[in-house]
Structure 1
């Protein structure tokens, strides 16, 4: 199992034990697309090994990588928020091994366990905030006039 960091570190032992039977071990080859922005978000992953780049579509340009996700980290949060479509795209940078979860099964489990639901929602909210911050900074670096993102 992944070291007690990231999502596993945010959950109690009992909550981890309730989630693990829902996990399926999967792997992605380097350069393999995991999901595309706008696609149906019906699952998520906890990365065990390797790195995944998160990117945003930029019309007329290559997708801009806004963050990378590594061991112990959550890959995909859009499964939790209707309409459940990916807000970013994801591509394996290196070979990746991960635990894959069916989103509907996890939402059902959370519906029956308010403490797990709260812990998972709190963790995912932090992930969303961090990804939004990373995307903003990266896009300013790439596309804003020099110095536009500086605080006076």
Structure 2
């Protein structure tokens, strides 16, 4: 069986991270399998962890004003799921549900924040990595929400 440390070191999100930092992250990690259709978290819920997706797909979604759920982005192998654990008030900005079976590595947010606080250089590196994820998610949202809103107006108005 491949060690958790080796699985993490091979994940694209952690590419280039020094082995010592991967080892420290591994202390706060565990394997996290999910069945198809599992809601991993809800929008506005408490954000306490993040996941490195190894296998499978996860749909990020949000609710439109009329209550319709809209998929913002589908994440697959090599993606990172969750960034809200890093920034107060630690609440999810989207929801997430598995689109099939998923194998991921879960990391504890409070533990990783502690590592970042104890080692500012590591914290800066990790924050930069997550900011790239935030920008990507915001771009996906900007692209998909207007089309979903337009579809909703057509259904409601006519």
TM-score (ref. length: structure 2): 0.85
Tell me what 2:4 maps to: none
Deviation, structure 1 residue 46: 0.9
2:95 matches 1:89:
yes
Kindly state the Cα deviation for residue 74 of structure 1 after the two structures are TM-superposed: 1.1
How far does residue 10 in structure 1 lie from its aligned partner after superposition? Answer: 4.9
Q: Please point out which of 48, 52, 55 is paired with 1:46.
A: 52
Q: Give the superposition deviation at 1:79.
A: 0.5
Question: How far, CA to CA, are the matches of 1:39 and 1:72 in structure 2?
Answer: 24
Asked whether the 8 Å contact 1:44–1:100 carries over to 2, the reply is yes
Q: Which residue of 1 aligns with 2:24?
A: 18
Is 1:37 matched up with 2:43? yes
**Change beyond 3 A, Cα 1:43–1:5:** closer
Please name the residue that 1:106 is paired with. Answer: 112
SS of the equivalent of 1:99 reads strand
CA 1:10 to 1:67, structure 2 compared with 1: closer, same or farther past 3 Å? farther
Contact 2:9–2:22 under 8 Å retained in 1 = no
Give the conservation status (yes or no) of the 8 Å contact 1:35–1:90. yes
Alignment RMSD (CA, Å): 1.7
Q: 3-state DSSP class of the match of 2:27?
A: helix
Measure, in 1, the Cα distance between the counterparts of 2:9 and 2:109.
23
Q: Which string of whole-angstrom CA distances, capped at 9 and with x for unpartnered residues, describes residues 116-145 of structure 1?
A: 111110010010011001001011222249
Structure with a larger share of its residues in helix: 2
Q: Is the 8 A contact 1:3 1:72 kept in 2?
A: no
Aligned to 1:148: none
Deviation at 1:41, TM superposition (A): 0.4
Is the CA contact 1:55–1:64 (under 8 Å) kept in the aligned structure 2? yes
Distance in 2 separating the partners of 1:12 and 1:94: 32
Unaligned ranges ≥5, structure 2: 1-6, 152-158
Instruction: Report the number of matched residues.
Output: 145
